[in-house]
Chain A
Amino acid sequence: MTRDVLILCAAGMLVSAYLMVGQKALFTAIRLYAVQSLLLGTVAITMAIADRRDELFVMAALTITLKSALIPWFLMRVIDRIGIHREIEPFLNVPASLLVCLGLTAVGYRVSTGFPEGTQGVTHHLVGVALSMLLIGLFLMVTRKKAVTQILALLTVENAVFLVALGITSGMPLVVELGISFDVILAVLMLGILVHRIVDRFESMDVSRLSKLKG
């Protein structure tokens, strides 16, 4: 039972990542991220129930409130403020991107077979998903030009990390977790502020234009 839920959620997260790669509307991207975070939360809860670890509930609550509510809301506000809603031409067109992502997934899964549990066991899937998400997120950062998309991609990477944390360690010590989440928020806030400043300055949040500093 638990196993299936976990794998389902993980799969869901991966799908959401793929969807992010697959489309261009920023709002959708943010929503996808929200869903992704929600799934992450679910994973946390499931594990909490499964092996009776209460601090994981806190984790889950934190994740859901922060990542699937607060941050998306914040980002939406940013977008509204700026009024740019679509990701114009990424460096790589969608089909090609998807192909690359498939490759990345393969790599992730290959690596995930190296863990103690080997190919069976839920860990394998969780880690595999997580690693591929990580790479996909990074890939998104590479190919997308809008500042907000990059933030999202970064957050996807964060999610991936958390998924690994849940998957193979059933959570880090709570204090650390808290600290980490706190830092993540701060990072996002700063990114947001910077995006503002950038937009004020450049009338655009196309970061590919930020290329004055060469050599």
Chain B
Amino acid sequence: MLIALAIRLFTIVATVAVARRPAICRVVSMGGSILASAITGWLAVRVITSRAVIDGVLARHAASGIVFGYAVTPLSAWFLMVLALIAAPVAVYSIGYFAHAVPASRTATTGVGFNVLLGAVELVFVASDVVTFLFAWELMTLATAALVATDHEERSSRRAAYLYLVMSHVGTGCLVAGFLALASRAGSLSFSVLLTGDTVSGSLRHVLFVLFFVGFGVKAGLIPLHVWLPEAHPAAPSSVSALMSAVLITTGLYGLLRLCAFGLGVPSLDWGLAVMGVGALSAILGVLYALTENDVKRMLAYSTIEHAGIIVLGVGVAMMARASGRGDLAAVAMAASLYHVLNHAAFKGLLFLGAGGMAMGTGTRRIEEFGGLLRRLPWTGFFFLVGALAISGLPPLNGFASEWLLFQALLRGFASIPGLVRLNFPIGGALLALTSALAAACFVRAFGISFLALPRSRAAAEAPESPALMLVPQGYLAALCVGLGLFPGIVLQSLDRVLASLPGVQSPVALAPSSLAMASPRDVTDGVVPLGLAVAIGGGIIVGLLLAARRVSRRVPTWGCGGELTARTEYTATAFSKPLMMMFRAVYRPTREVEAMAEVSPYFPTEVRFRGRIEPTFERYIYTPLALAVLRVAVGLKVLQAGSLHAYLAYVLVLGVLLLIWLGGSI
């Protein structure tokens, strides 16, 4: 651990040192980051395989006497592993990407930010006491904000960075309060004492739960605390967006697990319900917003919200399971969540990298202006397709595996938790199903409209393919998506070790005889989607090929309904999601303006303008009013400092008289 962080630190210094030479600077910063990630990954794997917690002291802050402790528990190791798996390829990608996407003058700062961010996240995962955690947490926030503001000439990215800073700082405030209150009860700052679960009780416990839930919820981008996410993720350089989506939000999830699920003792059923509810809400709303989004990176950001929701849904189930003492169920749910953390990191990273390539090639992020990219960017397109399949939860890719587990958890939850509460599980299941189906629709749209048919703009028609440095990482991630889908057994075996380390969670191996074929990963092929199905599908494809083996003799234009077929007659992204938008009117509250300009008669318009937009409910009804109110109050209080010396003297007089009266009363 020390080594990894040391390398990061060194890298940062080195980056600054060679700041003048962007090219070298890129290589140095990213190279260092790769090395560090590799070490972290190795460490994580070691911890997971040999369930031994590695801990120690990172540093001592002499002045304040504060000690930075770290402890790599299996849980943190799992998250570290995810980080390592994603961070390395992203770094490779960045070498190629920053060259085009980041102005030379900012290469150094971006490189530094990149490493600080990763280092901080690692520290968050391994922190073993409150101060270290908060330290890393804040550092992470700042680094991210800096990265988001990389091209700060854009108003949008400034806004995004600030919004992010404010929201996460409010979150941090909650965390500080929670942690310190906890620490004061436990009389110690170290997690090992703090999180035994019996430090607090009564109503304080609930207060703390809320504090932590809000605090971590902001980072995890849970609705309604998500507003920063769709702003910040797109604003950052794509490789950073990939990190943010794949890694940064997992810190929030890690926190939720560490504190809300396993930190405050056995959670109460209501907590579980609350978490489940928020998770489901985030999942469904996230995907719905993604569905109508025309900016590819914003679309991905919203889908990040969706997946955070799915993961949290699992956590909620696990909490309810613990609350009702069903370790086996908790195991399945946790397995699902943690598995999904890994999967989401893989495919979301992949997709963001792909989006980066597209944006770089075309100079725009608007899906409506892509089209036909598959011809120009064959590899990017292929990898994007893999990502799209995976994220839509389709077998035999990894997205399916974890969602399958989650369904299992929900089913078992219904079977094993008594009372009316159980009805939440089928509802959750239905919502989850809806979510993944909508996700499929969303990504058919994203892939189809951007990569297929005719180019919808010059830029799209002439977009160049990304350099190999950017393609190889995508290839790697795509392979990861497939591998994680085909061999869930391996994943589950390591997960088994992680889960065994969590209190109140029965190791899934104990579930062997249950109906969960795959939850007893005794042998690798015995998983949710073993090669069996892949083989079957493969067989089917072969049959299909054999049946229609004749090679294509003629290629003819597509029939354009009599007219000639141009990009303008193509189905647009907006049109694609129109039916769903109409069906979920209640959520979107769409507004549309159609104006037809006609010279001769209204029946022969020369030009028709259409503007449709959906209402950003949360911004409009929660955040904007809040901000305005605060500002109004501030402006109102301006009179305190109105420049009149007499007023100032009056303050003193009033204070004096008040104090005197107070004293006079105490005689």
List chain A positions with a Cβ less than 8 A from chain B: 91, 104, 107-108, 110-111, 113-114, 131, 135, 138-139, 141-143, 145, 207-208, 210-215
Given A211-B644, A214-B638, A214-B642, A107 and B661 contact (CB-CB distance below 8 Å): yes
From the candidates B643, B649, B663, name the one contacting A111 in the complex (CB within 8 A). B663
Q: Does B177 contact A (CB under 8 A)?
A: no
Q: Which DSSP category, helix, strand, loop or mixed, fits chain B's interface?
A: helix
- Decide: A213 and B656 in contact? CB cutoff 8 A: no
A139 contacts across to B, CB distance below 8 A: 653
- Decide: A135 and B656 in contact? CB cutoff 8 A: yes
Q: Does B664 contact A (CB under 8 A)?
A: yes
- Decide: A113 and B657 in contact? CB cutoff 8 A: no
* Between-chain CB contacts (< 8 Å), 30 pairs: A91-B646, A107-B657, A107-B661, A107-B664, A110-B664, A110-B667, A111-B663, A111-B667, A114-B663, A114-B667, A135-B656, A135-B660, A138-B649, A138-B653, A138-B656, A139-B653, A141-B646, A142-B653, A143-B646, A207-B645, A208-B644, A208-B645, A208-B646, A211-B642, A211-B643, A211-B644, A211-B645, A212-B643, A213-B643, A214-B638
In the complex, what residue of chain A is closest to B659 when comparing beta carbons?
A: A111
Complex Cα spacing A108 to B663, Å: 11
Q: Does B650 contact A (CB under 8 A)?
A: yes
Complex Cα spacing A207 to B646, Å: 9
- Decide: A142 and B650 in contact? CB cutoff 8 A: yes
Given A114-B663, A143-B646, A215 and B638 contact (CB-CB distance below 8 Å): yes
In the complex, what residue of chain B is closest to A214 when comparing beta carbons?
A: B643
Given A142-B646, A210-B645, A135 and B667 contact (CB-CB distance below 8 Å): no
In the complex, what residue of chain A is closest to B644 when comparing beta carbons?
A: A211
In the complex, what residue of chain A is closest to B650 when comparing beta carbons?
A: A142
Least CB distance from A172 to B in Å reads 22
Complex Cα spacing A213 to B642, Å: 7
Q: Which DSSP category, helix, strand, loop or mixed, fits chain A's interface?
A: helix
A interface footprint on B623-656 (CB within 8 Å = 1, 0 otherwise)? 0000000000000001001111110011011001
Known contacts A104-B657, A107-B660, A138-B649, then 4 further A-B pairs from the complex at CB < 8 Å, ordered by chain A residue: A111-B664, A135-B653, A208-B646, A214-B642
B653 contacts across to A, CB distance below 8 A: 135, 138-139, 142
Complex Cα spacing A142 to B645, Å: 8
In the complex, what residue of chain B is closest to A134 when comparing beta carbons?
A: B656
- Decide: B664 and A114 in contact? CB cutoff 8 A: yes
Least CB distance from B651 to A in Å reads 9
In the complex, what residue of chain A is closest to B661 when comparing beta carbons?
A: A107
In the complex, what residue of chain A is closest to B635 when comparing beta carbons?
A: A215
B642 contacts across to A, CB distance below 8 A: 211, 214
In the complex, what residue of chain A is closest to B642 when comparing beta carbons?
A: A214
The list of the 7 closest CB pairs from A to B, nearest first, reads A211-B643, A110-B664, A114-B667, A214-B643, A142-B649, A111-B664, A138-B653
Given A114-B667, A141-B649, A142-B649, A214 and B641 contact (CB-CB distance below 8 Å): yes
Contact residues, B148-207 vs A (CB, 8 A): none
Complex Cα spacing A104 to B649, Å: 15
In the complex, what residue of chain A is closest to B666 when comparing beta carbons?
A: A114
B664 contacts across to A, CB distance below 8 A: 107, 110-111, 114
A91 contacts across to B, CB distance below 8 A: 646
Identify which of B638, B646, B652, B660 gathers the most chain A CB atoms within 10 Å of its CB: B646
Least CB distance from A208 to B in Å reads 6
Least CB distance from B592 to A in Å reads 44
B644 contacts across to A, CB distance below 8 A: 208, 211
A108 contacts across to B, CB distance below 8 A: 660
Complex Cα spacing A77 to B652, Å: 30
In the complex, what residue of chain A is closest to B647 when comparing beta carbons?
A: A142
In the complex, what residue of chain A is closest to B658 when comparing beta carbons?
A: A107
Complex Cα spacing A210 to B645, Å: 8
A143 contacts across to B, CB distance below 8 A: 646
Complex Cα spacing A199 to B653, Å: 27
In the complex, what residue of chain B is closest to A91 when comparing beta carbons?
A: B646
Complex Cα spacing A110 to B641, Å: 32
Given A135-B657, A208-B646, A215 and B667 contact (CB-CB distance below 8 Å): no
B641 contacts across to A, CB distance below 8 A: 214-215
B660 contacts across to A, CB distance below 8 A: 107-108, 110-111, 131, 135
Complex Cα spacing A94 to B332, Å: 83
- Decide: A113 and B650 in contact? CB cutoff 8 A: no
Identify which of A91, A113, A131, A141 gathers the most chain B CB atoms within 10 Å of its CB: A141
A interface footprint on B328-357 (CB within 8 Å = 1, 0 otherwise)? 000000000000000000000000000000
In the complex, what residue of chain A is closest to B667 when comparing beta carbons?
A: A114
In the complex, what residue of chain B is closest to A112 when comparing beta carbons?
A: B664
Complex Cα spacing A215 to B638, Å: 6
Least CB distance from B667 to A in Å reads 4
